Structure 1
Amino acid sequence: MNHLPSEPSALPGGPFVAYNGGQLVVEQVELRALAAQHGTPLFVYSQAAVLSALAAYQRGLAGRKALICYAMKANSSLAILKLLAEAGCGFDIVSSGELERALAVGAEPAKIIFSGVGKTRHEMRHALHAGVGCFNVESLAELEVLDAVARECGAVAPVSIRVNPNVDAKTHPYISTGLKGNKFGIAHEDALTAYQRAAALPGLRVVGIDCHIGSQITEEAPYLEAMDRVLDLVSTIEAAGIAIHHIDFGGGLGINYNGDTPPQADALWTLLLARLDARGFGNRTIMIEPGRSLVGNAGVCITEVQYLKPGEQKNFCIVDAAMNDLPRPALYEAFHQIVPLQPRDAPPITYDVVGPVCESGDWLGRDRDLAVQPGDLLAVLSAGAYSMSMSSNYNTRPRAAEVMVDGGNARVIRKRESVEELWRLESI
């Protein structure tokens, strides 16, 4: 059930997303005013929330040789990338397109990590010419291809091998990445052989080791288990004469969607660094790749109620946002809190909140208690990650506009698409 919280701090994203005088605000800006000015659906982000989330990581890693590389697949809007680059972040990319976005906001190439299981030769050449800091390699076949491409370019590719530690992150199967059945990384037991091969290839230079076990992780134990397995491997690899200069522990820290209580980033890293110190690796360069935990609770999606449709088994609240705007519920039944911008003093009714797309999977929330009427505005919370970056034009629906709020100021960081723009590359 989805009940209106009695305290503003109870909202995901609080205190940056909260009720003030009966109106939902982001920082100091009323969302109702933004909807009136820019239309709906509309994504709104709190700049302070992004920087606050980043500051927790920075506190946790203070005094260490560390690089925070934002996993830009979570939200690759240029304004967010620029904000994080200016705050000292590097970037974790998974495509040439993401590389171009990072470079467009002035990212330092040496602070870019290129991850992903299916890098093409073109993407490898692009990244080598740009001078990225490291390729996170995910298979023996990729090692061979990257070596060949690097030699063709007259370059030496810095590589880190992504190791699959077979650790259960206790999250949804679609966002679990560290088990043997996942497509990511090289099996823990095959890692030494892979490193020996990498060290023997003239187009490669081993610089680190990488591990990423999943997303929306809300417990400390999987991180500690993965760290121990990676450190065991570092000892084994270095005993074979191959130096490991940095250790990349990936990302995956969860956020509060519905009362979730993941550890705070600074507390988590205090714990992990204590383990690192205890095992004698405290002087190593650390890299991490947070994504969702930096931007997820910083964003909301505003949507307007179009119709209320009572039914024998279900009541439907039909809104103008849809699965093309917010794909997570349709993809893996993800939960987002849905709250009114201006609560009504009326008894709530239980609705499924659905969109207009012609699919039964087009729903944003099931069994939500809401007191609403057509024309009311709702906010889908925790929409800063994997919403706009995964959005589509299904049903020829233009993508939403995006607005960044900084204190009492709001600026458009992406204009709403027009229908004509959707077919500008097509021909009859």
Structure 2
Amino acid sequence: MDHFLYRNGSLHAEDVPVSEIAAAVGAPFYLYSTATLLRHFQLFDDALEPMPHLVCYAMKAASNQAILKTLGDAGAGMDVVSGGEYLRAKAAGVAGEKIVFSGVGKTRDEVRLALTGGIRQFNVESEPEMRVISEVAVSLGVDAPITIRVNPDVDAKTHAKIATGKSENKFGIPISRAREVYAEAAKLPGLKVIGIDVHIGSQLTELAPFEAAYLKVAELTEILRADGHDITRLDLGGGLGIPYTRSNEAPPLPTDYGALIQRTVGHLGCEIEIEPGRLIAGNAGILVSRVIYVKEGEDRRFLILDAAMNDLIRPAMYDAYHDIIPVQEPAAATEPATYDIVGPVCESGDTFAKGREMPPVGEGDLVAFRSAGAYGAVMSSEYNTRPLIPEVMVHGDQFAVIRPRPTFDEIINRDTLPAWL
């Protein structure tokens, strides 16, 4: 469920007409619903209620500070994968004790930043990284809380570019080597081993891969405890998918996911962490764009938009599907038209959909890409010297620009000419 609905013939974001925002801000722009963000966070929080837990929002999905503060004020922790994300979370008012640091390539500077600013834990991805964290912690005279990410070699049955839990992926250590790696961690100074981490991928639409991974984690917990490790926390990652098209079978609900966690690891008495990103932010955001031209090709009709692959790269990168709908509601009996929906960037890959049936639209009309809140604005760029598009947030009957569109002068003036020019 989201809060982007037609009302009186016009698409609304909560209580605000999308066309009103477009008139004030200009197209294209990203638009987020506060109510949807909070509802989706609460679904996860409620699903884990029987167990001690923390829902850490995976902020790589959408990291505007307005989103982070909205979720942080509601009780969410944050899952970060860079020093920049760590500083964003802190700037949004999230305490270090609620920030989990993931990622395969943490640098010494990033480790130092987190240890001096406060951190809930590092999710360690490799033995070299573990040794670096030990060295930095010793140099600072502190203990670094860590979990070790194990790779359970479970097929997440998702897109190859977002699968992370098979032996061929770069993430974590093989679960078969966990005992020896934990044994080394216990001997290294400056480390405090507190738990186990696992994350098998993104956009999972069935629970079976989670169950297979979590059962392996439960077994490993018992083994490590028998070896003398004090395993008190299980970080189970994220990855639960969202329905990008209304015709798809709906992915499992957070309540079903929570019941699975209770069933597989609930008996261990551990604090549970999960790191959802897409399901919290995905359906909480849309991309609004305006039609520049309708172009008649030899054997197809092109809908040319003012949004492009630099604004929303998911279709070009993942062949991702997004429902694209008119902002003005079509009449019930309207016959659909068929379009190749494209942007203006000089790349054939700047294509959002081919042969897409949708209600007919014309030059100057607004359209909305649904389910664009996750991995949309955060992956955008200024390719072709196209300014990053605004981000806007709605709260009831109010809206605010939470990232303005830069001017061309601001973009160009970032360049510095060398002395010989």
CA distance in 1, matches of 2:4, 2:330: 19
- Report 1:33-44 matches (<5 A): 33-44=20-31
Tell me if 1:217 matches 2:193. no
Aligned ranges 1:213-362 → 2 under 5 Å = 213-258=200-245, 259-277=248-266, 280-281=267-268, 283-345=269-331, 346-362=334-350
Residue number among 79, 94, 103 corresponding to 1:116 in the alignment:
103
Q: Distance in 1 between matches of 2:364 and 2:142?
A: 59
Question: For 2:318 and 2:249, how far apart are their aligned partners in 1?
Answer: 17
CA contact (8 A) 2:288 2:368 kept: yes
Q: What amino acid is aligned across from residue 90 of structure 1 in structure 2?
A: G
Runs of 4+ aligned residues of structure 1 deviating over 6 Å after TM superposition are none
**Range with bigger deviation, 410-419 or 106-115:** 410-419
Out of 377, 381, 386, the residue aligned to residue 397 of structure 1 is: 386
For the 8 Å contact 1:302–1:378, the answer to whether it is kept is yes
Give % identity: 48
1:372 alignment partner in structure 2: 361
Provide structure 1 residue ranges, at least 5 long, that are not aligned to the other structure: 1-12
In the aligned structure 2, how far is the partner of 1:270 from the partner of 1:57? 11
Contact 2:218 2:264 in 1 (8 A): no
SS of the residue 2:385 aligns to: coil
CA RMSD, Structure 1 to Structure 2 (Å): 1.2
Distance 1:336 1:403 in 2: 19
Which of 19, 24, 28 is the equivalent residue of 2:11?
24
Q: Does the CA-based 8 Å contact 2:343-2:350 persist in structure 1?
A: yes
Question: Which residue identity is paired with 1:266?
Answer: T
Aligned position for 1:189: 176
**Structure 1 residue 260: Cα displacement:** 4.2
Deviation for aligned residue 1:270: 1.9
Map of 2:377 onto structure 1? 388
Give the drift of 1:274. 2.5
Residue aligning to 1:48 = 35
Q: 1:58, 1:266 within 8 Å by CA — same for their partners in 2?
A: no
SS in 1 for 2:60: coil
Whether the aligned pair in 1 keeps the contact of 2:86 and 2:114 (CA below 8 Å) is yes
Q: Which residue of 2 aligns with 1:418?
A: 407
Question: Shift of the alpha carbon at 1:343?
Answer: 3.5
> Which residue identity does 2:410 align to in structure 1?
E
Q: TM-score, normalised by structure 1?
A: 0.94
Contact 1:74 / 1:386 at 8 angstroms: preserved in 2?
Answer: yes
237-246 vs 265-274, which moves further: 265-274
Distance in 1 between residues matched to 2:198 and 2:299, nearest whole Å: 46
Deviation at 1:309, TM superposition (A): 1.4
| CA drift at 1:349 | 2.0
State the alpha-carbon separation in 1 of the partners of residues 280 and 37 from structure 2. Answer: 6
**CA distance in structure 1 between the partners assigned to 2:392 and 2:249 by the alignment:** 26
Identify the residue that residue 95 of structure 1 maps to in structure 2: 82
8 Å Cα contact 1:344/1:372 also seen in 2: no
Q: Contact 1:338/1:365 (CA < 8 Å) preserved in 2? A: no
Partners in 1 of 2:330 and 2:252 — Cα distance?
Answer: 34
TM-score (structure 2 length as normaliser): 0.96
**Would you say the 8 A contact 1:164–1:179 is kept in 2?**
yes
Equivalenced residue count is 412
Q: Deviations 1:260-297 (Å, cap 9, x if unpaired)?
A: 411111222023212324xx31x210011010110100
Deviation digits for residues 303-344 of structure 1, max 9, x if unmatched? 000111122233211000011110101111110000000144
**1:161-206 CA deviation, whole Å, 9 max, x = no partner?**
0111011111000000001111111111011111111111012110
Q: Which structure 2 residue ranges, 5 or more long, are not aligned?
A: none
**Partner amino acid for 2:274?**
I
Letter of the 2:10 partner, please give it. Q
Name the CA distance, whole Å, in 2 between partners of 1:415 and 1:393: 14
Q: Deviations over 1:334-369 (max 9, x none)?
A: 100000001445533211111111111111222212
SS of residue paired to 2:40: helix
Q: Distance in 2 between matches of 1:103 and 1:381?
A: 30
Q: How many angstroms apart in 1 are the aligned matches of 2:194 and 2:41?
A: 25
SS of residue in 2 equivalent to 1:91: strand
